[in-house]
Amino acid sequence: MIVAGVDIGSLSGETVILSDDKILSYSIVRTGADSALTAKKATDEALKNADISFEDIDYTIATGYGRVIVPFANENITEISCHAKGANYLFPTVRTILDMGGQDCKAIRCNEKGKVTNFAMNDKCAAGTGRFCEVMADVLGIALEDIGKTSLEAKKDAMISSACAVFAKSEAVSLLRSGVPKSEILSGVHEAIASRVFALLQRVGIEGDFVISGGIAKNIGVIKKVAEKVGLKPLISEEPQIVGALGAALFAKERYKKG
Amino acid sequence: MEFSFEGLKPPSSKPLIGMLCSYTPEEILYAAGLQPVRIYGSGKVIKRGDAYLYSTLCPYVRSIFDLAFEGHLDDFKNMVFVNSCDAMRRLYDVWRHYIKNDFIHILDVPRTASEDKLNYYVQQLRDLIRRLEEELRVDITADSLREAIRLVNHTRQLFQELFELRKKDDSNLWGSQIFPIMLASMSSPKESFNQRLEQYIKEISRTEPQPSETPRPRLLVSGSIIEQAEFIKLLEDSGARVVAEDLCTGIRSLEGMVSEEGDPIEAIALRYLNRPPCSRMKGVERRYQSIKHIIEEYGIHGVVYHTIKFCDPELMTYPLIRKELERENIPVLHLEGDCTMGSHGQFKTRVGAFLEMLEY
């Protein structure tokens, strides 16, 4: 049995292909304006990596913000359930998940089966999201993948008083103009993000084990700050960006078996 | 089976009187020969209203003022306000200043039903009656009050029958179908509305309930005011069945009869202070008990708690209610809206995930 999970987020799209319980292949592509096209691109790439054809897939579940516009999916399930499912597969002891995505953040609680028991999402606000990190990297002229590492060089945090992406951007610009090192600004930005997501986590309550998924899990600067606040060492998979798509694929397997 | 809303417009023969709160005693307004109409917001982005009321005030209130300011409420020569909450009092303040009316009144509704408050409220109702009589040159007699009580009670009686049908496990009534009927009940002439509802109930009780394709979780929507049936539809399009609405545009305003015996004014006061409370009333315990009662009666699997941005009473009540619900293991989802459809896209993911986590 071969199944696929497709996660169409606001900034990136991922496809995971499972053969029974094994991850056959995956792909990560940037989301364009057309969600259906992104889904196709991501899936084609994953198929290529697995060296199989579209006809080999028995069942597909779509998730993420663009889940309803994946034309070839059999069903769709929200990314909240999928992240819990995916995290539970990777770390069966997980009880709390922080998903830090492109345009939103979610704190999710789940039981031993990976079923969601409670969750909280950020409101209409980009603070603490991938988009926020992108904006900051752009302001400071540092590649997105380097901001985590750079921030670790800071001796202290620059004071970023606002977690609002728009305000924080202008704060970062003025700090930069007044000669504050980039590493300190980034460290301050990461502190602001961590405070924000910590508040979100507190809304659902934190119980170990604790997993961070989503693209920001690749930012070592943010992870360090979040870990300090939470007081638990976060578990992060090798590729945290595909946890949602993996969850969708696991649901696809269950639904296909049920018929 | 469709409910026909056609021709439920208020007759031109009767002067209209606008009301904004479900604590307004419609009986007195009917007895005065007026046509009470509950006014709903526009659901649109607020334009000029924001220049007169600060933007961190209840969007329902701001939307109403915007409508009035733009001339959309010019047919309402008469208005009754209630000191429902601080935002509503601010609305009364600006309204009095900028909008021309023949008759404008604010009713001071107490927040508890103790004996002294009841006496006070009776006095408030007598003051309203005196002002209506003097300024609109009408007679409000014990007989006309009793007749109005019977009329409004009849509406409540009919809704009770409808609610009994919704309580059944195999009910195939949709919330998105019932909700507009409740909205209409508060803004249509009761005489013709009652006939329409009576007919509707007869027809739906005649049709055999068909078992629904797949079982759906039964939801209670709790909150202050929701004016858009689209919100209920969003929940049902996501896979739920909305069976009860603890809203001021829902069942809590339609429950509790006015006694047809004894002094009619006292009977009215008793009913309004004792009906299922909203968050403006004192004591969360009473509100929680009424929510818990609904959960048991209607077989609820999950609660969607909807608050309006900047609604202090509701936002203060919510965490306390949530705590109680969690203690009883009843899942609750909090959604915050601004009386427009702007947040509906965001709601979809939250609602979808909530329904996926429910056990039913």
Q: Which domains, and CATH codes, for chain A?
A: 1-91+240-259 (3.30.420.40), 93-236 (3.30.420.40)
Q: What is the pLDDT of residues A43-96, one digit of tens each?
A: 999 999 999 999 999 999 999 989 999 999 999 999 999 999 999 999 999 999
SS3 B253: helix
Element (H, E) at B35: strand B35-38
A207-226 average pLDDT score: 93
Q: With an 8 Å Cβ cutoff, are A80 and B346 in contact? A: no
Is any Cβ of chain B less than 8 angstroms from the Cβ of A119? yes
State residue B160 phi and psi, 5-degree precision.
-60, -40
Per-residue pLDDT tens for A150-170?
A: 999 999 999 887 767 778 888
Delimit the domains of chain B by residue range. Answer: 16-139
The neighbour count for residue A254, using CB atoms within 10 Å, is: 12
Q: Give the span between the Cα atoms of A14 and A36, in whole angstroms.
A: 12
Partners of A79 on chain B (C-beta within 8 Å) are 349, 353
Q: How many residue pairs from chains A and B have C-beta atoms closer than 8 A? A: 31
Tell whether the model's pLDDT for residue A224 goes beyond 80.
yes
Is B346 touching A (CB cutoff 8 A)? yes
- Give the minimum alpha-carbon distance from B238 to chain A in angstroms, rounded to a whole number: 11
CB contact under 8 A, B350 and A121: yes
Label residue A11 by pLDDT band (50, 70, 90).
confident
Q: Which of B189, B148, B162 is nearest to B9 (CA)?
A: B189
Smallest Cβ–Cβ distance between A115 and the set B349, B350, B357 belongs to B357
Report whether pLDDT(A148) > 70: yes
Contact A80 B349 (CB under 8 A): yes
For residue A124, name the pLDDT band (cuts at 50, 70, 90). Answer: low
Listed in sequence order, the DSSP H helices in B103-174 are 115-136, 142-167
**Is the per-residue pLDDT at A13 higher than 90?**
yes
Closest CA to A87 of A257, A192, A252, A242: A242
Residue of A nearest to B359 (CA): A117
pLDDT at A53: 94
The chain-wide mean pLDDT, for chain A, equals 92
Please check whether residue B51 is in contact with residue B70, taking contact to mean a CB–CB distance below 8 angstroms: no
B39 CA: distance to closest CA in chain A (Å): 29
Mean of all residue pLDDT scores within chain B? 94
Q: Is B356 on the interface with A (CB under 8 A)?
A: yes
How far apart are the CA of B337 and the nearest CA of chain A, in angstroms? 11
- CATH code, B16-139: 3.40.50.11890
Question: If you search the block for the tokens 């119980």, which residue do you land on?
Answer: A207
pLDDT on residue B45: 84
Query: Does the beta carbon of A103 lie under 8 angstroms from any beta carbon of chain B?
Result: no
Inform me whether the pLDDT recorded for B1 exceeds 80. Answer: no
Candidates B88, B93, B104, B82; CA nearest to B25 is B82
For residue A77, which residues of chain B lie inside 8 Å, CB to CB? 352, 356
Q: Does any CB of chain B come closer than 8 Å to the CB of residue A121?
A: yes
Cα separation, B82 vs B120, whole angstroms: 15
Answer whether residue B233 shows pLDDT above 70.
yes
Tell me if B308 sits within 8 A of B223, measured CB to CB: yes
Say how far apart CA A244 and CA A99 lie, in whole Å: 9
Mean pLDDT of A10-26: 93
The ipTM estimated for the assembled molecules is 0.86
| Among the ranges given (A127-131, B128-132, B173-177), the one the predictor scored with the smallest mean pLDDT | A127-131
Report how far apart, in Å, the C-alpha atoms of B96 and of each of A29, B65, B80, B92, B102 are.
Answer: 59, 11, 11, 6, 11
Q: Which residue of A has its CA nearest to B309?
A: A123
Enumerate residues 6+ apart whose C-beta is below 8 A from B225.
B60, B247, B248, B249, B308
First to last CA, chain B: 27
A203 has a chain B CB within 8 A of its CB: no
Q: Is the dihedral of CA A90, A92, A93, A99 positive or negative?
A: positive
Minimal CA separation from A34 to chain B, in Å = 17
Contact A119 B343 (CB under 8 A): no
> Which of B238, B356, B359, B360 should we substitute to test contact with A (largest number of A Cβ atoms within 10 Å)?
B356
DSSP helix, strand, coil percent of chain A (3-state; round to 5)? 45, 20, 30
Strands A210-213 and A105-110: unpaired
CA distance B352 to chain A (A): 6
Min Cα–Cα distance to chain A from B235, Å? 14
Residue A31 has pLDDT above 90, yes or no: no
Q: Which pLDDT score, from 0 to 100, does residue A168 have?
A: 81
